[in-house]
Amino acid sequence: MNKEIVCSGIRPTGNIHLGNYFGALRNFVKMQDEYNCFFFIADYHSLTTHPTPENLYNNARQILVQYLACGLDPEKSTIYLQSDLPETIELYLFLNMNAYLGELERVTSFKDKVRQQPNNVNAGLLTYPTLMAADILIHKAAKVPVGKDQEQHLEMTRTFANRFNNMYKKEVFPLPQAFNFGGELVKIPGLDGSGKMGKSEGEGNALFITDEPSVIRKKIMRAKTDSGPEQMNQTKPQEIENLFTLLKVVSTPDTVEYFDDLYNRCQIRYGDLKKQLAEDMVNFISPITERINAINSDEASLKRIMDMGKEKAHESARRTIEEVRHVIGYRN
């Protein structure tokens, strides 16, 4: 039986943080056995932030190393660089012909960027969802492991796929779904009390899989808290809920229950909660950091893995683009 196709990627704009890991990468690793997986490094997408050539190269290399350290297996999955697949760009062009300004301007992530960086509202940001759709549709993927913040982009991918199929009266593309093993898509909060952990949310917000134990401890001990609960069983304010969410992803259920109970009885000491969270976090992150260090120096095998991924991804992409060109009306 043919395995279902899975495709996803992460932008190389810095090291992988826990949001990337629990929203996306952990699912990549778990999906490798059951599905036909394509996982890429989204280096075209990272151009919207205008990286220097050195940063573009080094960050992409780091993401590859971090993918491998987290358990992606090049024998099981196709791991490749987005820019090694020019077919994606051709499909991006075709999809852009049927993507409308109004719908692109309404995308939440675009509106956020307009607010955050009014001096750099480039066309790449506007058409970010069509490039993402091209990444996914070039392999005809059915499932896309992503975090909650990507839900709307997946909806746009379905809109573009459906529009193309209807326009040419042919079911060229399946309609892909966002995927998480737990069912619900995940949103990992930041340490600064904000709703989301992110690379660009400021110093101290994110925990990276490259962070040294001392850095992890320092960031967690500085995490935002309030003055403590005043009523039994009261609802937790966001910054406290955030710490419990982080505790849930790295600590045992017993530990979570223990601190939850103390909170509900107004007996919690945030210092104790943070110490426990920091130790569990160090235990979670340190083995990954060690693997990163070991893989980092093996230049020859990194190159081999990229070459192998490029070839496999190319084979899949070429089939799709040939079909798409034919359906649109290009004849050799």
Query: Nearest Cα to 159, choosing from 146, 176, 183, 147?
Result: 176
* Residues 177-195: b if buried by 16+ CB within 10 A, e if exposed: ebbbeeeebbbbbbbbbbe
Catalytic one of 148, 196, 236, 310: 196
| Shortest spacing between CB 248 and ligand TYM, in angstroms | 13
Task: Give the phi and the psi of residue 78 in degrees, each rounded to 5.
Answer: -90, 115
* Residues 221-239: b if buried by 16+ CB within 10 A, e if exposed: eebbbeeebeeeeeeeeeb
113 assigned to active site: yes
Q: Report whether 311 contacts 78 (CB < 8 A).
A: no
Q: Which is nearer to ligand TYM, 158 or 268 (CB)?
A: 158
Q: Which is nearer to ligand TYM, 164 or 229 (CB)?
A: 164
- By CB under 6 A, is residue 176 in contact with ligand TYM? no
| Shortest spacing between CB 25 and ligand TYM, in angstroms | 7
| Shortest spacing between CB 231 and ligand TYM, in angstroms | 30
- By CB under 6 A, is residue 198 in contact with ligand TYM? yes
Q: Report whether 158 contacts 150 (CB < 8 A).
A: no
- By CB under 6 A, is residue 45 in contact with ligand TYM? yes
Task: Give the phi and the psi of residue 323 in degrees, each rounded to 5.
Answer: -65, -45
Q: Report whether 228 contacts 257 (CB < 8 A).
A: no
**DSSP three-state, residue 5:** strand
- By CB under 6 A, is residue 61 in contact with ligand TYM? no
**132, 138, 243, 305: which one binds ligand TYM (CB under 6 A):** 132
Q: Which is nearer to ligand TYM, 151 or 298 (CB)?
A: 151
199 assigned to active site: yes
CA distance 13 to 49: 8
**144, 277, 285, 317: which one binds ligand TYM (CB under 6 A):** 144
| Shortest spacing between CB 109 and ligand TYM, in angstroms | 8
Q: Which is nearer to ligand TYM, 48 or 268 (CB)?
A: 48
- By CB under 6 A, is residue 139 in contact with ligand TYM? no
203 to each of 69, 198, 217, how far by Cα in Å?
A: 24, 10, 14
Q: Which is nearer to ligand TYM, 78 or 229 (CB)?
A: 78
- By CB under 6 A, is residue 23 in contact with ligand TYM? yes
Could you list the active site residues? 113, 196, 199
